[in-house]
Structure 1
Amino acid sequence: MKHEPKPSIQTLGALRESGYRVRSVKDEVRSNLIAALRDGRDPFPGVLGFEQTVIPQIQNAILGRHDFILLGLRGQAKSRVLRLLPGLLDAWIPVVEGSDLNDNPFAPVSKYARDLMEQAGDETPISWLPRAERYGEKLATPDTSIADLIGDIDPIKAAHRKLTYADEEVIHFGIIPRTNRGIFAINELPDLQPRIQVGLLNIMEEQDIQIRGFNIRFPLDLLMVFSANPEDYTNRGSIITPLKDRIDSQIITHYPKSVETGIAITDQEAWQDRDSAVSVEVPHLFREIIEQVAFEARASEYVDQNSGVSARMTRAALENLISAAERRALLAGERETYARASDLWFIEPAVTGKLELVYEGEQEGAQTVAQVLTGRALKATFSRHFPAPDTDRALYQKVLNWFASGGTLNLHHNMALSEYASALDTVDGLRDLVDRIAKPDSPEARATMMELVLEALHQHSMLGKEVAGAARSFVDMMGSMLSGIGSADPDEFDEFDDEL
C-alpha cells in the first residue's frame, strides 16, 4: 500500500473548486478493488490458504456492494481478513472539521456540521481523515448495549444546556455512527443479545439509526461486516433470522487444507527471529510434525470438532519448540543448536491449552491426548520421508538387533551436542541408515535425524522408551515390556492411540 500525502485543501470552497467527488463507502471499496485486480495487486496480503476459496467470495461481495459475514471456527483468520479491508479505502477523505460523525462536507448529517456550514459557508474548515481511522471494530459480548453501538441520550448534557431529549445535540453517539463513512466490524456476532441485534436492523436495511424512539434519524454511510462461529458451537446465542436475512453474503472460512499451507502460515505468524545469544535451526521435517499435530487433532474423535483447533496452536507449538532448544543451548553454553526430537514433547502446553475435549478425551486427560497426537503426528510425518518401519522392517533390522542384544541408549534433554552425538553413535547401524536415507548436511542434522529414527521406531511399537524427567532411555521393546517399567509416553496408551 503506497503512501499518499495528506491533501492541502482546508476549506469547503477550495474543496468545491477542486472538483472533488464524494463516493459512498461501498462504491469506494468496489472501485479500489477493481483497480487492485487490474493492476495485479493483492488486496489481502499475508492471508494464506484462502486464495481459491474465501478471497474470491469476499471480492465478489465487495463488487456487489454487499455487507457480509465470515462464518468459521476459531483461528481461521476471520478478524485478520476484516482488518485488511481498510486497505481498499481511499487514503484520505474530507470531513467537516470537529464533527463526531465524519460529516460529508457536501451532505452533512449532524446538526453541528449543518450549523457550522450555515455560519461559515465556503470558509467551513475541512480536515482529512486517513483510511486507518475509518475502520471501527467491536467484539460482541453479552453485556454490549445499544448505547455502546448506536448511542444514547445524555441527560447531564440535556440538563446543563437546557435542551429537550428530542434535540439531537443531547445525543452521545456510539461507536457505529462515529465510524460513519467507514467500515464497521462486529466480531462474534451471535454473542450479541437478540434485542441488541434488533437494533442493527435499521442500519442494515435503511442505513440510518434512531435513538430511544425519538424522531431523530441519521442516515449513515457504512460497510457493515461481521464474523461469527457456527451457531452449533456458540452456545451463548445465535444470529436472529431478520438480521441474518439482511446480511447480503455469508462466506465460510476454513483451516489450511494442506500441511505445507499450514507451515507457511505458522512460519509467518510465529516469533522465530529472536534477539538471543543462541541461534536455533528447526528442520523442515519438524515444522511438518507440528502442523501434522493440528491435522491429527482436527480428525480426532476425542477433540470437540465443533470447537475446532485454532491455527494459533501450531504457532505457539513452534515457539515452544524453539524455546526448548534455546534453553538447552544456553544451559550447555552453545551459541548454535538444532532442534531435536526430544524438543517436540515440550510443545505439550501449546496443545493442551488449545484443545476442547469431548467426554472421552476428558477421561484420558489433556496431557495424554496431547502426547498421543504428537506421537501420531511424528509417526505420520516420518512415514512421508522415510520407508515405513512396519513395511520395510529389514531396513531398520540392524538397529533393532542392537537393542535386542541388550543395548540401551540413555539420553538427556540438556546434553551438549558432542555428548549427544557420541551417545547416538553407539547404536549399531543407526548412523549409516540416516546417512543413506536423510543425507544430513551437518553433524547437528545427523544427530537430530538419528534420534528421530529411534523415536519413530518407538511410535511404531518396535522400540521401548522409558522417561524420567528430562532423561529418557531407548530399549528393546520386548525387554521393556518384560521389565514392567512403565513409560509416560503415548505408546503406553496403545488402545487409545489406535482409536484416534
Structure 2
Amino acid sequence: IEITAQEAWTRREGRQLSIPKYVYEVIERVAFSAREDKKIDKRSGVSQRLPISCLENVISNAERRAIHHKESHVVPRIGDIYAALPAITGKLELEYEGEMKGADFVGRELIRSAIAKTYDTYFKGTDTQQIVQWFDLGGEIQLADTAASTEALPALRGIQGLLDKTVKVGIGPKDTIESQVSAAEFILEGLHAHKRIGRNEERLFTAGEKQPKHVEKPYEREDTPYRPRRPFN
C-alpha cells in the first residue's frame, strides 16, 4: 500500500482528497489475487503498475464526480474501482481459460474477491442480517459511481442498520457525507461479494438469489426379493 500511495498521482489540486483505507486495501488485493489466479499468465507477471494505475483512475473518477456535483471533498468509493476496470485489465496477460472468460469478467472477479477479503477484515462476525433482510423484503437501491453523495446518503439511511455499521471502518455521523456514502457502499459491496445480496451491472442492489434447499428423500427400505433356501444335505 505504501509503495502504491507514494508512486501514484494522488496530489490533486482544488479539493480535499481522502482515500479510505479499505479502498487502498481492495486495490492491493486485486494485484495479489491476479498473481495467484490461474487464468492469468504467470510468465508475464503482474507488476506494481497495476495498483498504481488503478488507484490513479479511481481518484480521477471520484474527482470527476466531486467536480460535477460541486462537492468539496473527494472520497473514492468501491464503485470507482469497478469504473477503473480498464486500468486493471490493460495490465493483465490472460491464459487460454482467461481468454475464454473474457478480460472484463476476469477483472470483475478479481475485484469481487478482493472486496470479499477486505470486507472480512472489518466485518467478520458482524451481524448484518437486518441489512440483508431489508433487501429480502423488497428493498432496492441504485448507487451509480456518478451519483452525488447528497442524493445517495438519504437513500442509504433508509436501509435499516446500514449506517450503524460504518463505525467498523472508522466512519460516523459526524464525518463528511462523502465518507459516509463510501463506507456504506463498501458494506453493500461486501455483502454482494459474499452473495448475501444481489447487484446488477447498473449498480442496482437487490435481494440475493436464494439457494435451493436440498431436500433429502425419506429413506425407503427396499424389500429383499424372495430367495428360496438351499436344502441342506
For residues 381 and 331 of structure 1, what CA distance do their matches in structure 2 show?
29
Assess if the C-alpha contact under 8 Å between 1:411 and 1:423 holds in 2: no
Q: 1:273 aligns with which of 3, 8, 11?
A: 11
Task: Name the structure where strand makes up a greater proportion of residues.
Answer: 1
Per the TM alignment, residue 425 of structure 1 is displaced from its structure 2 partner at its CA by: 0.6
Kept after mapping to 2: 8 A contact 1:279/1:326 = no
Please tell me the residue identity of whatever aligns with 2:27. Answer: I
Q: Which residue of 2 aligns with 1:329?
A: 66
Distance in 2 (CA, whole Å) between partners of 1:455 and 1:395 is 16
Structure-1-length-normalised TM-score: 0.40
CA distance, structure 2, for counterparts of residue 335 and residue 414 of structure 1:
15
Q: CA deviation at 1:283?
A: 0.8
User: Would you say 1:439 and 2:170 are equivalent positions?
Assistant: yes
The equivalent residue for 1:448 is: 182
1:414: how far off? 2.0
Q: Distance in 2 between matches of 1:335 and 1:429?
A: 27
1:307 maps onto 2:38 in alignment: no
Residue equivalent to 1:415: 147
Q: Which amino acid aligns with 2:204?
A: S
Name the CA distance, whole Å, in 2 between partners of 1:360 and 1:412.
31
Determine if contact 2:141/2:155 at 8 Å carries over to the other structure: yes
Pick from 463, 478, 490 the counterpart of residue 197 of structure 2.
Answer: 463
Matched, 1:381 2:118: yes
Give 1:433 deviation, angstroms. Answer: 2.2
Contact 1:279 1:337 in 2 (8 A): yes
Tell me the residue number matched to 1:353.
Answer: 90
Query: 203, 207, 212: which one pairs with 1:476?
Result: 207
Which whole-Å deviations, capped at 9, do the CAs of 1:269-327 have from their partners, x for residues lacking one?
1111123x333311111111111111000000001111110101111000000001011
Q: Which 4+ stretches in 1 moved above 4 angstroms? A: none
CA distance in 1, matches of 2:85, 2:193: 17
Of 130, 144, 159 in structure 2, the residue corresponding to residue 398 of structure 1 is: 130
Report the Cα offset of residue 413 of structure 1: 2.2
Task: Report the alpha carbon displacement of residue 349 of structure 1 after superposing the two structures with TM.
Answer: 1.2
Question: Are the counterparts in 2 of residues 332 and 414 from structure 1 also a CA contact under 8 Å?
Answer: no
Q: By how many angstroms is 1:420 displaced?
A: 1.2
The match for 2:158 among 409, 423, 426 is 426
Alignment of 1:13-412 (within 5 A): 263-275=1-13, 277-387=14-124, 392=125, 395-412=127-144
The count of corresponding residues between Structure 1 and Structure 2 is 209
Structure 2 letter corresponding to 1:413: D
SS of equivalent residue, structure 2 residue 10: coil
Contact 2:62 2:76 in 1 (8 A): yes
Specify every segment of 5 or more residues in structure 1 that has no aligned partner in the other structure, as ranges: 1-262, 482-500
The SS at the match of 1:415 is coil
Distance 1:347 1:413, change over 3 A: closer
Report the Cα distance in structure 2 between the residues aligned to 1:375 and 1:348, rounded to whole angstroms: 12
The answer on whether the counterparts of 2:135 and 2:207 sit within 8 Å (CA) in structure 1 is: yes
Given that 1:406 and 1:476 are in contact with CA atoms closer than 8 Å, whether structure 2 keeps it comes out as yes
CA-CA distance at 1:337 after TM superposition: 2.2
Is the 8 Å Cα contact of residues 83 and 145 (structure 2) preserved in structure 1? no
Deviation at 1:419, TM superposition (A): 1.1
Q: CA RMSD in A?
A: 1.8
Q: Percent identity?
A: 38
Contact 2:140 2:204 in 1 (8 A): yes
Relative to structure 1, is the Cα distance of residues 274 and 434 closer, same or farther in structure 2, using a 3 angstrom cutoff? closer
Can you list the C-alpha shifts for 1:24-79, whole angstroms capped at 9, x where unaligned? xxxxxxxxxxxxxxxxxxxxxxxxxxxxxxxxxxxxxxxxxxxxxxxxxxxxxxxx
Tell me, in whole angstroms, the C-alpha distance in 2 between the residues paired with 1:478 and 1:366: 25
Separation (CA, whole Å) in 2 of partners of 1:358 and 1:407: 40
Per-residue CA distance 1:96-138 (angstroms, 9 max, x = gap): xxxxxxxxxxxxxxxxxxxxxxxxxxxxxxxxxxxxxxxxxxx
Report the structure number with the largest CA radius of gyration: 1
* Residue in 1 that maps onto 2:217: none
**SS state at 2:201 partner:** strand
Structure with the bigger RCO (C-alpha within 8 Å, sep 6+) is: 2
Between the aligned partners of 1:415 and 1:366, the Cα distance in structure 2 is 26
Distance 1:458 1:299 in 2: 22
The amino acid that maps onto 1:460 is H
Alpha-carbon deviation of 1:364?
0.6
